[in-house]
Amino acid sequence: MSTLKFAVLAGDYIGPEVMSAALRVLEHVARQEGLKLDYTAAEVGGAAIDRHGSALPASTLQVCEAADAILFGSVGGPKWEKLPTKEQPERAALLPLRKHFTLFANIRPGLLYPELTDASPLKAERIPDGIDIVCIRELTGGIYFGQPKSTTTLANGDIEAIDTMVYRKSEIERITAVAITAARGRKKQLCSVDKANVLETSVLWRKTVSDYVAAHAPDLKLSHMYVDNAAMQLARDPNQFDVFLTENMFGDILSDEMAVICGSLGMLSSASLGARDNSLGKPFGLYEPAGGTAPDIAGQDLANPCAQILSAALMLRYSFGLDSVARRIEAAVRQTVTSGTRTGDIAFGRAAVGTTAMTDAIIAALD
């Protein structure tokens, strides 16, 4: 019997509610598939600030280090908003986790089922078959982490702040390799997004992606697009992309745009894969929903658990090599949603169910 050893970092507000939904689904498939779950919960984000004084305590990092993957909920909220930015749950938990485990490859599926096109702000005629694209975002380089990074008061009393955008060829190559694998599993089309008309890092980005794809994946159709145009094209005709690859900050911005055109944030999952393999020889990864902590609906059994459940499916696929089990979970979520069992965020005037009933329905669809 294979054992799935992972850390459970539920976080704040709806984080624990949707996390328990995902764990119920995992327990169910584990029983069906003869898998053993070995997970350890640890505090992160605001919950960790309250208990340990920091958003990512050493004890939590230890739990993650001992695991083969991290299932992450979401962190942050009004309770901690007055803290200095550097100490706030989002920044002080997520960024150090990404850096510590070199989680350089962020995979965000932009998926909108055709039955849910009402949820998108795009006109239905632009997306008759829903949306099905993937954003591959570089996650540990660029302006997020480049040095120097500082704020200084100058001699004349003015204040200067500096962020530095840095990329190395090796960093661009390793994320390109991930994008190639993603594109090969789909339509063999890859669009690399940059700002090569202005930025040095983007000139290197474009050349590196071109050379790497020419050398390693001549079977792919590669295109390049400036980021401002990409932002516009996403809103015009998202399905032209299939797989798009981009650097850290552009990916942050474009993936939020992608999330909104895909309707509810409650449906979007993500995987952040690390540079090192886990004890099973698969990528160590962190798996999290895109939607945030939704403080306004926390504790009321209202949150949509789908994104957390789909993130758990991504964990099975990438860190445990269980693609067929991941597919079963994805199919069960899809079947449940399209058959009309929906939480309020995707109900469009129909009767909505709560987090628990939604999870029950997904579990039933797994049988």
- Residues paired with 5 in a beta bridge: 38
Full strand arrangement of the beta sheet holding 36-41: 36-41, 3-11, 69-74, 283-289, 269-277, 105-112, 131-138, 243-246, 189-194, 221-226
Buried/exposed code over 209-235 (b: 16+ C-beta within 10 A; e: otherwise): beebbeeebeebebebbbbeebbebbe
**195 counts as catalytic:** yes
Please identify which of the residues 113, 144, 287, 318 carries the catalytic annotation: 144
Total residue length of the chain: 367
48: amino acid identity, one letter:
A
Query: Which residue is closest to ligand IPM by CB?
Result: 90
* 252 is an interface residue for Mg ion by CB under 5 A: yes
**167 counts as catalytic:** no
Q: What is the C-alpha to C-alpha distance for residues 195 and 283, in angstroms, rounded to an integer?
A: 30
Three-state SS at 65: helix
Closer by beta carbon to ligand IPM, 91 or else 100:
91
* 94 is an interface residue for ligand IPM by CB under 6 A: yes
142: amino acid identity, one letter:
G
Listed in order, strand segments (DSSP E) in 12-130 are 36-41, 69-74, 105-112
Q: Is 69 within 8 Å of 321 (Cβ atoms)?
A: no
Q: How far is the CB of 94 from ligand IPM (least distance, A)?
A: 5
- The single residue among 12, 90, 132, 345 that binds ligand IPM, judged by CB under 6 A, is 90
Stretch that binds Mg ion, among 107-115, 190-198, 224-232, 252-260 (CB under 5 A): 252-260
341 phi and psi, to 5 degrees?
A: -85, 110
Please identify which of the residues 68, 113, 132, 195 carries the catalytic annotation: 195
115 phi and psi, to 5 degrees?
A: -70, -15
Stretch that binds Mg ion, among 34-42, 61-69, 131-139, 244-252 (CB under 5 A): 244-252
* 91 is an interface residue for ligand IPM by CB under 6 A: yes
Q: What is the C-alpha to C-alpha distance for residues 53 and 63, in angstroms, rounded to an integer?
A: 17
Closer by beta carbon to ligand IPM, 260 or else 347:
260
Please identify which of the residues 163, 211, 252, 301 carries the catalytic annotation: 252
**144 counts as catalytic:** yes
Q: What is the C-alpha to C-alpha distance for residues 315 and 317, in angstroms, rounded to an integer?
A: 5
* 115 is an interface residue for Mg ion by CB under 5 A: no
* 138 is an interface residue for ligand IPM by CB under 6 A: no
Stretch that binds Mg ion, among 43-51, 84-92, 199-207, 247-255 (CB under 5 A): 247-255
Closer by beta carbon to ligand IPM, 88 or else 117:
88
Q: How far is the CB of 144 from Mg ion (least distance, A)?
A: 11
**13 counts as catalytic:** no
Residues sharing a CB contact under 8 Å with residue 218, sequence separation 6 or more, in sequence order:
none
- The single residue among 252, 257, 301, 360 that binds ligand IPM, judged by CB under 6 A, is 252
DSSP 351: P
Per CB under 6 A, contacts with ligand IPM among 23-52 are none
Contact residues for ligand IPM, defined by CB under 6 A: 90-91, 94-95, 252
Contact residues for Mg ion, defined by CB under 5 A: 252
The residues assigned a catalytic role are 144, 195, 228, 252, 256
